[in-house]
Amino acid sequence: MPIVRPGRLRTLLSATAALILICTFYFYWTPPPASTIPSTAFEVPLTERQNAFWKVLRPILDAHAPNCPSPTLRLPVNAVHYNATTTEPRPDLILLGKNELEAMEEAHANYINDVKVSKKIRPVHSPGTRGLVTTAGGSYLPVFLSALRMLRRTGSTLPVEVYMKDASEYEKSICEDVLPDMDARCFILSDIVGNNIIQHYQLKVFAVLFSSFEEIVWMDADCFPLDKPEILLNHEPFTSTGLVTWPDFWASSISPVYFNISRQPIPPMSERQSSETGVFLVSKKTHYLTMLLAAYYNYYGPSHYFRLLSQGAPGEGDKETFLQAATAVGEPFYTVSERVQAIGHAKPDGFSGSAMAQSDPIGDYALTSQGKWRVQDPSVDKPPRVFFVHANYPKFNPAENVFGAKWETAPTLRPDGTEGRAWTAPEDVLRRFGLDIEKAYWEEIKWISCNPEIEFKTWETKTEVCEKVESYWNTVFAEPHDDDPKFVEEG
């Protein structure tokens, strides 16, 4: 039997103890969540991922064109407010021949199959990340900056990515000097997809797909939250569905032809409202196929799908592409049931609305999960709080015609002839805000307008803009007025 000398024995015992310690650490150590690991630790640069993704996706999109002329719309659908108890038939105003229908149906099915089986389509996002995504440029960039200030005002720490159509919309001083201090970055879509490939409404889904985030809060440039939107990502209904959308005012006007093309049963008109996609929440981990199909609907939106999904209804564009993509591939979703509310002010001849108030989905889900549907019977419970405001008409760019008589929705005049607020009604909706959100919004607009370090290409006279905004602020908000609305909900 070999003799082990004392020195070697100590070395052997030390090595054995170290090995046991390492094994113990290996079995009981839990790696940190992906969200705490910098994406650079395990990812190639974002621009490379974006370009590689598009290099694979575009040929698949091109290979499955609808292969038929654009659908013909006999006449635009009537804009009808949603009725949860209606038995009216779905409007059917699209003319599409049998051969064209079959061609679109085949192309649709083959596209879904190809993106399902493709092993080359690699998601752009970093696992475990979340953030806010939007598009902005030109006259929308000042509007976006106000919304970003409102986001940070809530205490939100979500990083932000803002996508611009092409280099003409990129403003160096804003993107490189102003936005980084608010944890926001600019990206130019044409650098990825090429010039004049996607336009206007088509930009949204591609911004989502090209984003580095896995869980996304989408907000249009003219939307802003009243609370931290990351709260919504941590609770139902998002946690169980991975896709949350908000309603528009109108009844659905999706053509029956679309449901035939996508091989779905035709839903009744009472099932849900049309969509308003100024805001939505989506997880690309759970809804990647949905987003790829929505990309198809938008890529061929101007030629085929926008018309099929709206039939000329107000806001025709990408608004129905996200939810319908989810239904077409059978992925879950939650549509906020609480009606969207117009906010504005009274006029001698009626009501002038200039923004849309969208409700808290957590509160909405708390009611619907108990079988309480206020959209059918408002008396079943109190409404949820307002969570988002979509200030859509006019766009609150102070260098444009927010003031004055051009806009029927411009700030109202008081009885003494001085300027007043834009949002004074309905009072019950304003109470659901819980705070004076119009004053807060104008405070941020004033900060942007009068900050000497902020210059926009579309602002010809910065000094004049600042003077105009300060004058309006001093008249309307500097001192309380008897006609100021009340913002704390009773009870």
d(CA 459, CA 166): 19
Strand order in the sheet with 386-390: 223-225, 386-390, 350-359, 341-347
The verdict on residue 386 lying in a domain is yes
Q: Which of 247, 166, 160 is nearest to 212 (CA)?
A: 160
Low-confidence ranges of the chain (pLDDT < 70): 1-43, 401-417, 482, 487-491
**One domain for residues 356 and 246:** no
**One domain for residues 301 and 264:** yes
d(CA 163, CA 204): 9
The residue among 285, 305, 335 that closes a domain is 335
Whether residue 221 contacts residue 143, with contact meaning beta carbons closer than 8 Å, is answered with yes
**One domain for residues 146 and 206:** yes
The residue among 335, 360, 379 that closes a domain is 335
Q: Which runs of E-coded beta strand occur in 36-180?
A: 72-73, 94-95, 130-135, 160-164
**One domain for residues 426 and 280:** no
The residue among 287, 306, 335 that closes a domain is 335
Whether residue 476 contacts residue 411, with contact meaning beta carbons closer than 8 Å, is answered with yes
Q: What does the pLDDT look like over 356-384, one tens digit per residue? A: 999 999 999 999 999 999 999 999 999 99
**One domain for residues 458 and 385:** yes
DSSP of 398-463: TTSTTSSSS-TTSPPBPTTS-B--S--B-HHHHHTT-S-HHHHHHHHHHHHHH-TT---TT-S-HH
Q: 283: domain range? A: 46-335
**One domain for residues 191 and 229:** yes
The verdict on residue 36 lying in a domain is no
**One domain for residues 408 and 289:** no
d(CA 426, CA 355): 12
* Beta partners for residue 413, in sequence order: 419
**One domain for residues 108 and 73:** yes
The verdict on residue 39 lying in a domain is no
Phi-psi region at 196: left, alpha or beta (left = phi > 0; alpha = psi -120 to 50): left
The verdict on residue 8 lying in a domain is no
Q: What does the pLDDT look like over 50-70, one tens digit per residue? A: 999 999 999 999 999 999 999
CATH number at residue 284: 3.90.550
Query: What percent of the chain stands above pLDDT 90?
Result: 74
Query: Under 8 Å CB-to-CB from 4, ≥6 apart: which residues?
Result: 12
Question: Could you give the 3-state DSSP secondary structure of residue 235?
Answer: coil
d(CA 233, CA 448): 29
d(CA 460, CA 449): 12
The verdict on residue 489 lying in a domain is no
**One domain for residues 330 and 378:** no
d(CA 156, CA 178): 18
- Residue 321 neighbours by CB distance under 10 Å: 27
**One domain for residues 248 and 394:** no
Give the model's pLDDT for residue 36: 34
- Counting Cβ atoms within 10 Å, is residue 420 exposed (0-12), middle (13-18) or buried (19+)? middle
pTM: 0.89
**One domain for residues 317 and 349:** no
d(CA 162, CA 180): 11
Q: Write out the two tokens for 208.
A: 């989502």
Q: Which residue has the tokens 């009611």?
A: 367
Cα R_g (the chain), whole angstroms:
26
Number of structural domains (the chain) is: 2
The verdict on residue 199 lying in a domain is yes
Q: What does the pLDDT look like over 36-47, one tens digit per residue? A: 334 343 458 999
The verdict on residue 429 lying in a domain is yes
**One domain for residues 127 and 240:** yes
Phi-psi region at 167: left, alpha or beta (left = phi > 0; alpha = psi -120 to 50): alpha
The verdict on residue 485 lying in a domain is no
Give the model's pLDDT for residue 428: 93
Whether residue 254 contacts residue 190, with contact meaning beta carbons closer than 8 Å, is answered with no
Query: Under 8 Å CB-to-CB from 473, ≥6 apart: which residues?
Result: 442, 443, 446
